[in-house]
Amino acid sequence: MDSKPSVVPLWIDGRSAAARPAVTFPISPDEQGNTAFAQSADVDAAKLAAAAAKRAFEQWRLSSPTSRRDILLRAAGLLDSRRAELVALQVLETNCAEAWAQFNIDNSINNMREIAARITSACTGSIPAIGGEKNLGLVFKEPVGPVLLIAPWNASVILASRGLSSILGAGCTVVFKTSEICPRVHHLLVNVFIEAGVPAGAINAIQVRREDAPEVTEALIAHSAIRKVEFIGSAAVGRIIGAMAGKHLKPVLMELGGKCASIILDDCELEDAAEKCLLGVAETGAAQWPTGKGVNREVVQKSCDKLLDAGEKGAQFLTGGPNYASELSLRPTILMETTKEMKLWDEETFGPSVSLFVVDTDCEAIELANDSSYGLNAAIHTNNMQRAIDIARKLEVAQVHVNALTEHDDPTYPLGAVKGSGWGRNNASYGLEEFLVPKVVSLNMSRQKLAFEIGGK
């Protein structure tokens, strides 16, 4: 075994790179305790990445939609062929279960193929009807330009591959700020796209140690080459990214957090709802809950702190509580009597805990579900589809799933959010449209004859 720890580089303009002077930070150790390291970008390295993306954009924007489609299809196949390696890296860097790592890959492949299938239609322009017999209007769909993509560690493959596919598929180039928690996962994805045929400079990948992230991120957003930002992450960081982007007049596609309600109606199949929601009914005891691991000690401790805060402010624990099951996991917990004074009322816990509320009417359920700053998704459990639709139309969320989990993604759905969960849409043509802008070219055809006459003299 090589005793020298590996180092994840920066990837700029088609080659490995490092800041000058080089700065590294540690990432997840392997089973033998060997710690790997990653190069950390500084402002100068970030500017080099943005400049490389701008240079590459001048050619990549002229590539045909069919060639970009074929590259994405090859990338999807390569992702499948490197499944074992990618599963191992996800488990190593994010502490996820192998089943979740496999799901990440399957979902990503489906998304990439669906995005590829939509490229030619999404990039098709139009000829609108306009006034005047001798006037003609043309609407071209053009790529917005180089994009800054910031993707997180959770669902590390799905969220990153989806963003890369939509950005590159639309004819844009990208500076990908990988997660400092899982840089090897994200760099493997970049390698897959490059192997599939994405040219040098069209995709650049940098990671940044946490203490330098604000400065480097703003340098990228402020850079004249960057024309749009896609950010997936917490609402707290989303506010900062949104403010930076607003300062520099850059549009943003955001997918942030959520407090996703499952509404269990009195006419549902209770056992099915319990299985999907893991609520505290007799059929779902705490001993049957799967116990996972948190990505790191900091995330687990923050989750535990929210439970402690709730307990101190009067919440009742039906099962579990603010206790560790292992060094990196908490006991599954169901709470009642949670109130707005508690942190977990409207903050994601990133832990195995849910709050249970009992209400008397559909209106009360709707009001409670909507009493959140978030608007990502929700679920309704009922045997009455008309009732489900009536409630769904009144919920202030972007996705409502009936008799299913709150989280249900399909490659053809316009996946997005409302309220504090973000704005914009991903998947299929919806995601491609985020990185395309319509350009109008109007032709005054009455001057055409005169131009020909002048040219012929």
Per-residue model confidence as pLDDT tens digits over 350-406 = 888 889 999 999 999 999 999 999 999 999 999 999 999 999 999 999 999 999 998
Output the pLDDT for position 280: 36
User: What does the block give as tokens for 286?
Assistant: 């705490």
Sequence-separated (6 or more) residues with CB below 8 Å from residue 342 = 306, 309, 310, 313, 315
Output the pLDDT for position 4: 46
Output the pLDDT for position 285: 42
Mean pLDDT over 47-65 rounds to 98
Per-residue model confidence as pLDDT tens digits over 260-293 = 999 999 999 999 998 888 643 633 344 454 556 8
**Long-range pairs, 190-197, Cβ under 8 A, ≥24:** 190/11, 190/164, 192/75, 192/78, 192/79, 192/82, 193/71, 193/75, 193/164, 193/168, 194/14, 195/75, 195/78, 196/71, 196/72, 196/74, 196/75, 196/78, 197/70, 197/71, 197/74
User: What does the block give as tokens for 325?
Assistant: 């099951």
Assign a CATH topology to domain 261-402. Aldehyde Dehydrogenase; Chain A, domain 2 (3.40.309)
Beta 7-8 vs 35-39: how paired, if at all? parallel
Output the pLDDT for position 350: 85
Per-residue model confidence as pLDDT tens digits over 189-206 = 999 999 999 999 999 999
- 28 or 355, which is more confident: 355
Assign a CATH topology to domain 7-257+414-440. Aldehyde Dehydrogenase; Chain A, domain 1 (3.40.605)
Domains 7-257+414-440 and 261-402 share a fold: no
Cα angle value 217/22/188 (rounded, 5°)? 65
Mean pLDDT over 254-261 rounds to 93
Please give the Cα distance from 174 to 71 (Å, whole number). Answer: 15
The answer on pLDDT for 451 being more than 60 is: no
pTM score: 0.91
Q: What are the boundaries of each domain within the chain?
A: 7-257+414-440, 261-402
Mean pLDDT over 236-243 rounds to 96
Residue whose token pair is 């488990």: 91
Q: Residue type for 385, please?
A: M
Mean pLDDT over 9-22 rounds to 96
